[in-house]
Structure 1
Amino acid sequence: MSHDKQHRYATRTEWSGNLGEGTANYRAYSRDHVISAAGRPDLLGSSDPAFRGDASRWNPEDLLVASLSSCHMLWYLHLCAQAKIVLLAYHDDAAGTMVEGDHDGGRFTQAVLRPVATIAAGGDAVLAKALHEEAHRLCFIANSVNFPVTIEPTVLVAD
């Protein structure tokens, strides 16, 4: 008997890019859309500029990389708190690579997370670095994708 907990997430994506002709042709419409969920601010979405999108809006590819990075960070914060490692600062310059295919549309082939964690003086930097592997193992989003996600962590110790 499984004791797995099931969680559901509901969002709404609404296209706002009808410029008057609908999708009469490839250039007749904007890729703009709004992503919303109850009780949260709207995200303004579009496609990547390579696909006639608005560079000032989030695209699905950005959101996928951001989801991987955010999920990893949240697990890492949890694990540091459990291990009594005082994390003072954290940032991640994450990147993903998508390859367009001739017949299959395209797919992500990899993502790299580059978290930089600053821990309090006297903290265990070796353990702090090792906790990145555990965070990666536990990350819901990384466990859900079909491409490799690698972690290149840096741990700094505050003066």
Structure 2
Amino acid sequence: MHGEHRYALTATWTGNLGTGTSGYRDYSRDVTLEVSGKPALLASSDKPFRGDPERWNPEDLLVAALSECHLLSYLHACVQAGVVVTSYTDEATGLLREDGKGSAQFEEVVLHPRVTVADASMVEAAEAAHKTAHDWCFIARSVNFPVLHEPTVTVG
């Protein structure tokens, strides 16, 4: 896979409550995210930042992108290593720290993949495939904070 890959989406603010951004509390943080040919995703800011807790926020989406990128890279690494994965679940967590000056940044994301493989002889290679997956994950390679892995591999 060589070359460039471009991605496009439309983010539309839908939170004008009638007076626009006339004041900090005068608008909602509701946003609709759309990619051509895909279902719309309802988003907002996180609840502590006056957002709607029932909608996806940028922090959720970043952790989700890291988790899914690792998952997909991991499955590919396992195929190449001859590991048959029969189940994969990740309970990913992210730590965002506010700086007290109105901003914040992620300090780390920890992935907790629980992988089931078809045979006990595959466990060691399945564990090693997490490093390969991390090295291949485009999203993890693009962030400036650590993306850590605490995997569990079992035989099913």
Calculate the TM-score normalised by the size of structure 1.
0.94
Q: Which stretches of structure 1, 4 residues or more, deviate above 4 A after TM superposition?
A: none
More deviation in 78-87 or 56-65? 78-87
Name 1:148's counterpart in structure 2: 146
1:42 aligns with 2:40: yes
Unaligned runs of 5+ in 1: none
Consecutive unaligned residues in structure 2, runs of 5 or more? none
Are 1:112 and 1:150, in contact at CA under 8 Å, matched by a contact in 2? yes
Aligned equivalents of 2:77 and 2:110: distance in 1? 20
**Separation in 2 of the partners of 1:106 and 1:149?**
17
Contact 1:123-1:157 at 8 Å conserved across structures? no
CA distance in structure 1 between the partners assigned to 2:36 and 2:107 by the alignment: 32
1:13 equivalenced with 2:11 (yes/no): yes
Matched residue, 1:95: 93
Q: Partners in 1 of 2:102 and 2:57 — Cα distance?
A: 19
Aligned residues: 156
Per-residue deviation, 1:29: 0.4
Q: Residues 6-34 of structure 1, C-alpha deviation per residue, up to 9 Å, x if partnerless?
A: 11000110000001111110110000000
Distance 1:104 1:51, change over 3 A: closer
| CA spacing shift, 1:36–1:123, aligned 2, 3 Å | farther
Name the counterpart of 2:115.
117
CA distance 1:144–1:104, shift in 2 (3 Å): farther
Separation in 2 of the partners of 1:46 and 1:81?
Answer: 37
Partner of residue 83, structure 1 = 81
Question: Is 1:60 the equivalent of 2:43?
Answer: no
Separation in structure 1 between the aligned mates of residue 116 and residue 107 of structure 2, nearest angstrom = 30
Please state whether the residue corresponding to 2:94 is helix, strand or coil: strand
Q: What amino acid does structure 2 have at the position aligned with 1:105? A: S
Q: Deviations over 1:52-83 (max 9, x none)?
A: 11011000000000000000000011111122
Alpha-carbon offset, residue 104 of structure 1: 6.3
Aligned-pair identity in percent equals: 52
- The Cα shift of 1:121 comes to 2.6
Aligned to 1:70: 68
Q: TM-score, normalised by structure 2?
A: 0.96
Confirm or deny: 8 A CA contact 1:14 1:34 kept in the other structure: yes
Asked if the contact 1:99/1:108 (under 8 Å) is kept, the reply is yes
